[in-house]
Each structure stands twice: as C-alpha cells, then as structure tokens.
C-alpha cells in the first residue's frame, strides 16, 4: 500500500492487520514515554484544506509519536486565497521536503488527484462526503476492543448518511469485518441508491433500535447542506435523536459511538454522551493509534521514493 | 490545379457503395471511374470514401477563451478527425448574439481554411435567457442553427416566442435540455456511482422533463427542434414518439456518451466530466441502438476544450466538457455497428441537412464540391496526443478501431492520417 | 544446505545456557527474560521453563517486538508488527534478551532502544542460540548456544517446533544479507 485513500476495496485481512498494528501502538501510547523512533527523519505534512482541528491534531500527534517531523497547512491565510492552484500548492509544499501528506479537502477525490501529482504516500483525512478511512479504522478498533470481534455484531448507523464520509467508510469497514450494518435515516438523508452499500436500510429508528449492539450516531451537518433536508431540528431529535428514553431501550450490553464533534441535545442527549457505555473518548484515543499504524505502514517499510 | 485521385476505395454514391476511383479537379469531383490516374493519388484501398464529415456541435472558444482553443487549433482538430464543416457554438465572449460576431467567426474560419466554420447563433441576448437575441441580424449573417448551448433556454414562454419567430424561416433551435432546479448542485449522473461517491447528482429526469416540455412547444409552433447531446433512454423514447407524431424533431448523441457510462467517473478523473453527464449502461446501450435505428439522427461531438490547468483539479471544481473532433469517427465505428451508408449518414449527410449547410453532406457525384473523407474501418490504434490547444480527451489509452485516412475540403487535402496539413 | 544443530543439540544448548544464567546471576530472583520477535519468543519461553525446572520457582518472561525501532526500515519489505508483552516490571531488574541468531547486532541495538522505552533495567544481558559473526556494532552476547562461522552470502535459519514443526539450525548458501 503506498496510499491510504479509501476503505472501499481494502480486504478483511488488510483491515485486521492494520487493527493489529494499531493495538501495538495503543500499548505504546500507554507507556510513560509514548514514543517510538520508527519514522525519525521523516516529514509528514498535514494539508487540511477543509478546516478541522481535531483530526489534524490527531494526525500530528500520531506522526510525532512515531518521531516524525510535521508540517502543517491551513487554508484562509494561505496562498490558495491568492489564486494558487491546488496542484501548485501541494507541489510547493512537497518541494520543501515532505515524505507523506495527510489531506482533507471538501471536494470528493481531491486526495486521489494530489497522490497523482506528488507521487508520495497520501492519507485521506476526509474528502467531501466520500471517504474518511482512518475514522473507519478507529471506530472498528474501538468496537473490536469492546466486543473482541465484529463478526455477527448488529450495528446501526443513525443520521445524515447521505452527506457523511464517516458513514460510507464505516459501513464498508464494519461489513467487511463481519458485522451486519443498518443505515437509519429519513429518505432525504439516505444515499439515493443505498444498494451500493453492504447494509440494510430503515427509516424507523424506534423499530430497529433494540436489535443493535452498537449505535453509531452521526452529527447533524447543518454546514453540509443538510439544513433543508428535514423539517426542523426538534423534529429530527424526536424521530432520530438518541435520547435518554431511547438509550434506555437499547440492549443493556449495547454501546453508543459518535465521530465528534457532538451537537448535544440534537442527535445525542448530553446524558447519553456522558454515559460509560458511550465510547466517544475511547474513539478519540484510538484515533491516534490507528493513524500511527497507517503512517507506519506507509513510511515504515520499502517504498518507491 | 492538378488532379487529385482517390484510388481503390469503396465510394458511397447516390447509387449505393461502389468500388470506384474519384478524380478531383479545381475543387470539384470531375470524374468517377476505374483505373484513374492523375498528378497526386491517395491510396484508398480497404477504405470507405464518402462525403466530408459535418459536426453540428463544437466549441472553438474564439472570441474570448482562446487559451482553451481558437478557430485555428479547433479547425486543425476538425480536419484531423475528418470534418469538412463544423457548426460552432455561440458561448463565446462576446456571445454570438449579433451578426457582426457571426461574421467574424466565419471569416476567421475561412482565413484558416482547414474546415468550413459555421457559427451558430444564440437564442437569447448574452445567452442570459431573458431577451431574444438579434435573430434577424444573425439570419442575415448566414446563421441557421440557434442555441444557448452551455445553458438551457429555461423560460418556456421565451422559447415559444423564438420558435414562432424562426418557424416561418425554417431555422432550427438546438436545445441543451436540462431542468435548472433538478440539476442544481449536481456534478454527475444521480445513481449508483454518485451514491457510492457521496456526490450530488443529476437525475435522468432533469433532461427528460425539458425535452417533454419543449416537444409540446414544437407541436404548438411547428418550429424545427434539435435535441443536443441526448444522454437518457427516456429522452430517446420522447424523441421517437414525437417523430411518430410527425413533429420536426431531430436529435444528436456525442461520441463520449456512446463510449462510456457513469462508471468511468468512479475515479473522479475530470477527463470524464461533462454535461449532460455520463449515465448508466442501459442509457448508453439505448443511445447506441438509437443511433443505429435512426431515432437519433446524427453524431454531434460537443468538442469542449478546457486548458490543462483548468481540468487538473478535483472533480467538483473542474469545468464540464471533453475533446472529441479527432476521434468521433473512430469512436462511433468502435462502439456502434454502422455500415458505410449509415456511417456517412449520421456523421455527414444528416448533419448537413439539419444544419442547412450547403455543399457538404453530398454523395460524391460528378460536378459536386469535393468535400470528401476517407475512412479505414479496420485500423486499430490507441490515441495518445491531440492537435487541440487543450488535452482534455477521455480517449487517451483507449483502443479504437477505425481511423480517418484523409480529409479533403474543396479539393484540397486538409489532413492525412490524423495530422492536419497546416 | 547443512544442518549444524538438530533437536537434541538445541535442547542441550538451552539447558547449558540455563545453567550459565543461574551461575552468572546467582539464581533467578531478579531475572526477566524477553524474547525478541519472532523466534526469540519461543526460545525465551523454553528457557524460562528449563530455569523453573532447575530452580523450582517460576521465571518471568515476555516478548519484545522491535519493528518500531529498526534503523533499516527503508531497506526492508513491509514490516509486520509483532506483539510486545512484558508482564513484569522492567525497572531495577536484570533483563535477559533472548534471540535465535546474532549477526550484525542491529536487531539487538533496536531491542535495547525498545527496552529503554519500557523502563530502566539494572542490567541487560544477551542470550542467543546461534552467533554467526559479522558484527557491525559493538554488541556481544553473554550466553551462546553455538558459534557458527558463516560467510555473508550464507543464510542461517533456526527452526523451532512451535513455529516450524521441527527443531534445527540450518545454513544455506545463496542470497543471504
């Protein structure tokens, strides 16, 4: 693998290998000195054209925990606003001396184009509504840590699936690892053709809620054009929010997950988010470990320079 | 002027295909016979010989967007692809919404001299869709095809007025049929691929609702109406039904819609991004059948150059359009089984008729202007370069069967084996 | 191909190393064995069992993966990470690193780095089944099963029942690094 751009097409063996590596990095992160020298001398550039603080910080922590150096690009004050093309921007940064780039961009497919231009390993940190493969890894790792395996688990993904790269990557990863996935959303928030995903579909959360071992809650994305796709926020919460009442009806061993950042009181009630069965902070911690695993895989072995 | 002989080919004459030679003298076909000899001979053995190809839909970008293409480079691409006449769309800057712009375009084409460049005129001023363009002025400048291409004429009332205006004269309105609301924010066909990618799509209905609407207006006005770049099976059915009712409707399909479907967009390579978008395999197959059975009258290339730096961006940011002139004949031959007569009908004779283009699309006969294209339907080749100013071709690396061997415009050779003479 | 040690040779070598460890360290009270992934691990386990059978008290052992510490990652095919599991405190202990073959010494150097990130042992010793020579770093073993002089082009393979179905040490000619 010389890029990590998508979950689509990654085999079960590859996924499990990455999760196994991530387990080792979880151990490293628990040490008094949570650092290894594996990528010493390598430079990882985080190119976040779509604003993000948390994912960017997670990747930077992962790179640094591997002893790599980091460079960071942020939009707004950059040359992009002076009309420089995306291609020129990434080639310029590469010329300063990078070994890999982590890219987040609002346009679908941007990391693929960048990979063609820079001919260096690229990690997709999220491209539009398309893919967020490291998120899928950290979510799968969290579930695996809790249940031992994803085989046969019933996982419900609830929320704005249509505009969610997390939903797309997660559905593919969870199904590949043996889970039964159900997408739960009103029709306007489901993919136009849901049959391209390895998942069942339901528009009635209350009907299916009790079946799930994992309830994965997506954020309501007002900024991604979701606003006009359902009548109002309170209506959304009434039909699809993970309220205390709904939480009480879950299987007692079921867990709740969320990719963050949360809209408390909208898609998830505050008390639910703070419950021990909500593994949101575990997800965040695992995020650093899986990103270490991905960077290690891309840069810690023979690669075409 | 010395004689040019096209020897040993299979010629499409008004009496069908015959194995004869052509003699061309002073810009006209002077003799049809066998064993002809002359000053210069082009060996046409194994090749089809027929009227020079005619495109009713290309973008030469001049005036205003010359970094993408200009009339000279567009003419070169056209000649290389076997075209002797091209109708160029008016989405230039300034828009061809008045006679002086049309006259400039035609004159510049004549100056370059590699293909007959025929300007189409806009339906509305500035293509803004609000007021009618100077239709009489354009007509006087020789414009017979009217289109706001790039955009749809959305206001049905305005379109009806344009139809009423042009119906009496016999001008044709060439519509880029798409509903503004249904297509808003869409970047590719709405279907399985867009769902997988998470990309906002444009449903087939977006085209079909406007075709259906416009056909009602044709029924009302009797104006000639041409559907540009058909891309949906539903659109084909609407056209077939309208023809069945005797309406003056014609339709075109692009080479790329014959070659590809929306799976070509899975890699989000903007080389496959255009409007209307590539649609499903079922749509593509219906388009191929429609061209064979004649429901779709012609092939129109929609040759749409964009500079390399404009297309080397993520999909959603890339402008729509791909090149086509140089490979249209080869693509049609590769993906649609047309015999020689049908080939020249869809690519030359019918376009000339619909566009009211004189001197082109005529069976080679003694005395006729010598606009001839020689095509070898058996050569296999892989395109890798272009003579256009831009390079946004979806065909690089694709195995094609069939190649234009020679293009002759008014008796002069303008291209040999895909290479323009100037 | 030459078989320089068979199953019996291996057993005797491990037994001898165990006795040497006991002699050098005056018993097993402060010892922890760490097998270097991958074949150092079953060797460490065997050593621990032999030591236990001699002394009568259990001996701590674990596994150490050095994938994150190699200095030659660029020149190797994709590195698989193995498990690091150290079920005993490293601080203040005598840690005995266990590996199958000692060659350039780079693996042991990486193991020392990995160990340093786990804690501060009071002493570190090194036990290897085979020393094939050609050191590139100033590393020397404390306990050796067998010295097997080789040329750089030869390949030394240690086979263990736990991994490979038999116990043997084999030298093969050809592309060895």
**What does the pLDDT look like over B101-121, one tens digit per residue?**
999 999 999 999 999 999 999
* Residues from chain A contacting residue B191 (CB–CB below 8 Å): 192-193
The per-residue pLDDT for C47 is: 97
Q: Among B300, B329, B354, give the residue marking a domain's end.
A: B354
Judged on CB neighbours under 10 Å (0-12, 13-18, 19+), A133 is buried
On whether residue A18 sits in a domain, the answer given is yes
SS3 breakdown of chain B: % helix, strand, coil, rounded to 5? 35, 25, 45
Asked, for residue B238, whether it belongs to a domain, the answer is yes
User: What band does C74 get if pLDDT is binned at 50, 70 and 90?
Assistant: low
Q: Percentage of chain C surpassing pLDDT 70?
A: 95
Which chain C residues contact residue A14 at CB under 8 A?
none
Residue of higher predicted confidence among C174 and A106? A106
CATH number at A168 reads 3.40.50.1370
Count CB neighbours of C136 within 10 A: 10
Contacts of A121 in chain C (CB under 8 A): none
CATH code: domain of residue B348: 3.20.20.140
CATH for C140: 3.40.50.2020
Q: What is the pLDDT of residue A74?
A: 83
Mean pLDDT of C63-68: 94
Q: Which of A85, A165, A195 lies nearest to residue B309, judging by beta carbons?
A: A85
> Is B302 among the catalytic positions?
yes
Domain count, chain A: 2
C-alpha to C-alpha distance for A30 and A293, rounded to whole angstroms: 15
The verdict on A102 and A184 lying in the same domain is no
Give the residue among A169, A119, A165 at the shortest CA–CA distance from A140.
A169
Chain A within 8 Å of B197 (Cβ-Cβ)? Answer: yes
> Domain residues for A149?
133-283
Are the beta carbons of B195 and A191 separated by less than 8 Å? yes
What mean pLDDT is reported for chain B? Answer: 97
Q: How far out from the chain centre does Cα A130 lie?
A: 11
Task: Quote the minimal CA–CA distance from A170 to chain B in Å.
Answer: 13
> Do A108 and B312 lie within an 8 Å CB cutoff?
no
Same-domain check for residues B41 and B117: no
Quote the minimal CA–CA distance from A35 to chain B in Å. Answer: 36
B269 C-beta neighbours (distance < 10 Å), count: 17
To the nearest whole Å, the CA of C64 is away from the closest chain A CA by 11
Angle at B408 between CA B404 and CA B409, to 5 degrees: 130
Cβ-based neighbours of A121, under 8 Å, separated by 6 or more: A2, A3, A4, A99, A100, A101, A298, A299, A303
Mutate to test the interface with A, among B195, B271, B279 (most CBs of A within 10 A): B195
Whether residue B174 sits in one domain with residue B301: yes
Q: What residues contact residue B166 under an 8 Å CB cut-off, 6+ apart? A: B135, B146, B172, B173, B223, B224
Q: Do chain A and chain C touch with ≥3 beta carbon pairs under 8 Å?
A: yes
Is residue A4 included in any domain, yes or no? Answer: no
pLDDT at C76 exceeding the cut of 80: no
Q: What is the pLDDT of residue A136?
A: 98
Residues A147 and A126 in one domain: no
| Residue B319 DSSP one-character state | P
Question: Which residues in chain A have Cβ-Cβ distances shorter than 8 Å to C119?
Answer: 32
pLDDT of residue B163: 98
Whole-number Å distance between alpha carbons of C37 and C82: 6
Do the Cβ atoms of A38 and C70 come within 8 Å? Answer: yes
pLDDT digits (tens, 9 = 90+) for B161-177: 999 999 999 999 999 99
Q: Cα–Cα distance between A107 and A110 in angstroms, integer?
A: 6
Give tens-digit pLDDT for C94-150.
999 999 999 999 999 999 999 999 999 999 999 999 999 999 999 999 999 999 999
Q: Are residues B338 and B375 in the same domain?
A: no
Catalytic option among B302, B345, B376, B417: B302
Total of domains in chain C: 1
- Kindly state the average pLDDT of the residues B405-414: 97
Task: Please name the residues between 377 and 396 in chain B that touch chain A, using a CB distance below 8 Å.
Answer: none
Which residues have CB under 8 Å from A214's CB, separation 6+? A143, A153, A154, A155, A156, A179, A254, A255, A256, A257
Interface A-B: count of C-beta contacts within 8 A: 71
Q: What is the pLDDT of residue C77?
A: 63
Burial label, B174 (beta-carbon count in 10 A; 0-12, 13-18, 19+): buried
Q: Which of C65, C74, C117 sits opposite A302 (nearest CB)?
A: C74
Could you report the per-residue pLDDT of B291-345, keeping only the tens digit for each?
A: 999 999 999 999 999 999 999 999 999 999 999 999 999 999 999 989 999 999 9
B195 vs A164, A165, A194: nearest CB: A194
Spatial separation of the C-alpha atoms in residues B381 and B398, rounded to whole Å: 8
Helix (H, G, I), strand (E, B) or coil at B252: strand
DSSP string, B167-198: HTTT-EEEE----HHHHTT--EESSHHHHHHT
The stretch B203-210 carries a mean pLDDT of 98
Task: Decide if B191 contacts B280 (C-beta within 8 A).
Answer: yes
Q: Which residues of C fall within a CB distance of 8 Å from A21?
A: 81
B41 and B140 both lie in a single domain: no
Structural domain that includes position B322? 52-354
Which pLDDT score is estimated for A303? 43
CA-to-CA dists, residue A294 to A66, A146, A287, A298, C97, angstroms: 11, 21, 11, 6, 29
Q: How far is A171 from chain B (nearest CA, A)?
A: 11
Contact assessment for residue B166 and residue B146, using Cβ atoms and an 8 Å cutoff: yes
What SS3 state is found at C130? strand
pLDDT band at B409 (very low <50, low <70, confident <90, very high): very high
Q: Is residue A100 part of a domain?
A: yes
Domain stop point among B354, B376, B401: B354
pLDDT value at position A305?
Answer: 35
Subunit contact A300:C73, Cβ cutoff 8 A: yes
A156 and A177 in a common domain = yes
> What's the pLDDT tens digit per position in C144-169?
999 999 999 999 999 999 999 999 99
Model pLDDT, residue C174:
77
Of B137, B155, B67, B152, residue with least CA distance to B96: B137
Contacts of C64 in chain A (CB under 8 A): none
Say whether C84 and A37 touch across the interface (CB within 8 A).
Answer: no
pLDDT one digit per residue (tens) for chain A, 305 residues: 589 999 999 999 999 999 999 999 999 999 988 999 999 999 999 999 998 889 999 999 999 999 999 999 987 766 666 788 999 999 999 999 999 999 999 999 999 999 999 999 999 999 999 999 999 999 999 999 999 999 999 999 999 999 999 999 999 999 999 999 999 999 999 999 999 999 999 999 999 999 999 999 999 876 554 456 677 888 889 999 999 999 999 999 999 999 999 999 999 999 999 999 999 999 999 999 999 999 999 998 654 33
**Residue B360 included in any domain:** no
B34 touches chain A (CB under 8 A): no
Distance from CA of A234 to the nearest CA of B (A): 26
**Residues A188, A190: Cα–Cα separation, whole Å:** 6
Contacts of A192 in chain B (CB under 8 A): 190-191, 194-195, 201
Domain check: are B255 and B132 in the same one? yes
Domain membership of residue C111 (yes or no) is yes
In this structure, the answer to whether residues B372 and B391 fall within a common structural domain is yes
Rounded mean pLDDT, B93-97? 97
Is residue B121 within 8 Å of residue B102, measured between CB atoms? Answer: yes
Please report where in the chains the tokens 């960017």 appear, as a residue: A56
Task: Report the complex ipTM.
Answer: 0.93
Given this model, what pLDDT does residue A52 score?
86
- Higher-confidence position of B83 and A77: B83
């Amino acid at each position: 693998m010389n890029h990590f751009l998508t979950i689509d097409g990654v085999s079960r063996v590859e996924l499990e290998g990455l999760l196994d590596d991530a387990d080792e990095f979880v151990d490293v992160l628990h040490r008094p000195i949570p650092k290894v020298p594996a990528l010493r001398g390598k430079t990882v550039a985080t190119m976040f054209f779509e604003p993000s603080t948390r994912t960017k910080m997670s990747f930077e922590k992962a790179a640094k925990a591997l002893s790599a150096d980091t460079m960071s690009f942020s939009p707004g004050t950059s040359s992009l606003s002076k009309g420089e093309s995306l291609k020129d921007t990434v080639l310029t940064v590469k010329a300063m001396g990078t070994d890999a780039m982590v890219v987040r961009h609002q346009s679908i497919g941007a990391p693929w184009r960048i990979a063609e231009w820079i001919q260096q390993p690229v990690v997709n940190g999220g491209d539009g509504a398309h893919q967020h493969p490291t998120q899928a890894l950290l979510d799968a790792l969290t579930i695996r840590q809790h249940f031992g395996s994803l085989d046969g688990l019933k996982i419900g993904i609830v929320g704005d699936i249509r505009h969610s790269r997390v939903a797309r990557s997660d559905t593919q990863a969870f199904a590949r690892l043996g889970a039964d996935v159900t997408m739960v959303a009103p029709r306007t928030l489901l993919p136009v053709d849901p049959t391209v995903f390895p998942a069942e579909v339901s528009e009635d959360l209350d009907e299916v809620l009790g079946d799930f071992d994992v309830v994965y809650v997506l954020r309501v994305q007002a900024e991604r054009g979701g606003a006009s796709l359902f009548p109002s926020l309170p209506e959304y919460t009434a039909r699809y929010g993970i309220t205390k009442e709904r939480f009480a009806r879950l299987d007692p061993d079921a867990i709740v997950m969320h990719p963050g950042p949360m809209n408390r009181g909208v898609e998830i009630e505050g008390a639910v988010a703070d419950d021990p069965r909500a593994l949101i902070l575990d997800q965040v911690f695992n995020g650093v470990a899986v990103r270490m695993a991905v960077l290690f895989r891309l840069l810690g072995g023979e690669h075409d320079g | 002027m010395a004689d040019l002989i096209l020897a040993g080919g299979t010629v499409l004459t008004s009496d069908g295909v015959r194995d004869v030679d052509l003699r061309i003298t002073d810009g006209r076909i002077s003799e049809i016979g066998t064993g002809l000899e002359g000053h210069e001979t082009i060996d046409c053995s194994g090749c089809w010989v027929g009227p020079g190809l005619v495109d009713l839909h290309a973008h030469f970008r001049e005036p205003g967007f010359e970094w993408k293409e200009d009339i000279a480079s567009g003419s070169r691409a056209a000649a290389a692809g076997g075209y002797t006449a091209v109708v160029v769309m008016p989405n230039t800057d300034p828009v061809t919404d008045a006679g002086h712009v049309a006259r400039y375009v035609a004159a510049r084409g004549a100056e370059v001299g590699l293909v007959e460049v025929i300007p189409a005129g806009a339906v509305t001023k500035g293509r803004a869709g609000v007021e009618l363009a100077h239709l009489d002025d354009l007509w006087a400048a020789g414009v017979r095809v009217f289109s706001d291409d790039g955009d749809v004429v959305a206001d049905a009332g305005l379109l009806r007025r344009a139809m009423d205006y042009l119906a009496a004269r016999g001008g044709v309105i060439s519509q880029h049929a798409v509903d503004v609301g249904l297509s808003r924010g869409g970047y590719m066909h709405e279907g399985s691929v867009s769902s997988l990618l998470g990309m906002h799509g444009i449903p087939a209905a977006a085209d079909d609702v406007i075709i259906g609407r416009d056909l009602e207006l044709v029924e009302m006005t009797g104006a000639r109406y041409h559907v540009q770049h058909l891309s949906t099976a539903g659109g084909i059915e609407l056209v077939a039904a309208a023809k069945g009712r005797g309406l003056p409707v014609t339709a075109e399909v692009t080479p790329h819609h014959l070659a590809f479907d929306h799976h070509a967009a899975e890699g989000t390579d903007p080389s496959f991004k255009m409007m209307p978008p590539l649609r499903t395999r079922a749509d593509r197959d219906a388009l191929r059948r429609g061209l064979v059975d004649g429901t779709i009258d012609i092939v129109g290339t929609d040759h749409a150059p964009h500079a390399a730096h404009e297309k080397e961006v993520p999909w959603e940011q890339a402008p729509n359009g791909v090149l086509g002139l140089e490979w249209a004949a080869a693509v049609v031959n590769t993906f649609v089984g047309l015999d020689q007569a049908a080939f020249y009908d869809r690519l030359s004779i019918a376009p000339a008729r619909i566009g009211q283009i004189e001197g082109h699309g005529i069976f080679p006969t003694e005395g006729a202007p010598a606009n001839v294209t020689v095509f070898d339907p058996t050569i296999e080749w892989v395109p890798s370069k272009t003579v256009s100013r831009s390079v946004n071709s979806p065909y690089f690396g694709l195995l094609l069967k069939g190649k234009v061997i020679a293009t002759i415009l008014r008796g002069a050779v303008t291209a040999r084996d895909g290479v323009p003479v100037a | 191909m030459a078989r320089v040690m068979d199953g019996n040779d291996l057993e005797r070598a491990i037994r001898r190393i165990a006795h040497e460890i006991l002699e050098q360290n005056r018993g097993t009270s402060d010892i922890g064995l760490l097998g270097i992934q991958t074949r150092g691990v079953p060797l460490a386990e065997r050593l621990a069992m032999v030591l236990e059978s001699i002394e009568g008290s259990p001996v701590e052992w674990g596994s150490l993966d050095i994938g994150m510490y190699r200095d030659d990652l660029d020149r190797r095919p994709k590195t698989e990470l193995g498990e690091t599991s150290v079920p005993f405190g490293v601080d203040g202990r005598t840690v005995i690193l266990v590996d199958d073959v000692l060659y350039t010494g780079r693996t042991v150097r990486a193991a020392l780095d990995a160990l340093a990130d786990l804690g501060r042992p009071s002493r570190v010793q090194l036990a290897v089944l085979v020393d094939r020579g050609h050191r590139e770093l100033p590393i020397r073993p404390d306990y050796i099963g067998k010295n097997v002089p080789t040329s750089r082009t030869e390949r030394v393979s240690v086979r263990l029942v736990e991994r490979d179905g038999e116990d043997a040490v084999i030298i093969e000619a050809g592309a060895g690094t």
